[in-house]
Amino acid sequence: MSTFVLVHGAWHGGWCWDRVAPLLRDAGHEVHAPTLTGLSERAHLLSPLVGLETHVEDVVRLIDVLGLTDVVLVGHSYAGQIVTAVADRRPDAVAQRVYLDAFVGADGEAARDLLPETVEHHWAESAAEQGFGWLVAVRKLSVLGVTEQADVDWLLPKLTPHPWKTYTDALRLTGAADRVPAAFIECVSWMRVFAGQADRARERGWPVHELDTGHEAMVTAPAELAAALLEIAGRPSAARRETGV
């Protein structure tokens, strides 16, 4: 069985996977869903120094301290950057990378570079005008495809501003992540900010799965997302046997 490490995106915490994690555990897998430094219940640790490296270290330390192996590393949205960096540093521990409506970055690229121009401008403006130059305010959930009031009521009180530095810090990669098989899941029932990232995945020969839901799939379509993750989790061992990696 695999060990899933589920990494949340901007504004969220590890709790956002609470509807998905039980489904993965019921299938016999181990699941970890850490909250990144400075966010949600760890917001008391937020400072202008919290950047991409901070969050990469959060996940690397989780893997190292718990001795995790055969990890299916799932990153939502911004956390695609984290997945890439962690797999680059711990390629022998990570069996599969999964990008859930997430950034597919290359060496030297920052998350802001991967956003559509209009969205990047909005985020930078939000940080400059509302976030003291270093925070991005929580976006309206309706923009992300969350429309059910019960879902909004569950999410909104737990969300916190996100450090802009995580979007301006560039990935620094050795190329080791390329040894780790990858897959992409695109959420197609919203404004599809990550359509270009799905195209990048296709160009790299990764399987791309589509979910008929908004950006917050772990909230709005947990059963469908869990099914996709379980399907993907069956790929790494076979792929590695075939390639000898």
List the catalytic residue out of 40, 77, 142, 189: 77
CA distance 6 to 20: 10
How many angstroms separate the Cα of 28 from the Cα of each of 2, 74, 114?
8, 17, 36
Q: Residue 52: enclosing H or E segment and its boundaries?
A: helix 52-66
Per-state percent for the chain, helix, strand, coil, to nearest 5: 50, 15, 35
CA distance 204 to 81: 16
How many angstroms separate the Cα of 121 from the Cα of each of 77, 106, 129?
17, 21, 12
Q: Is 77 a catalytic residue?
A: yes
Residues serving a catalytic function are 77
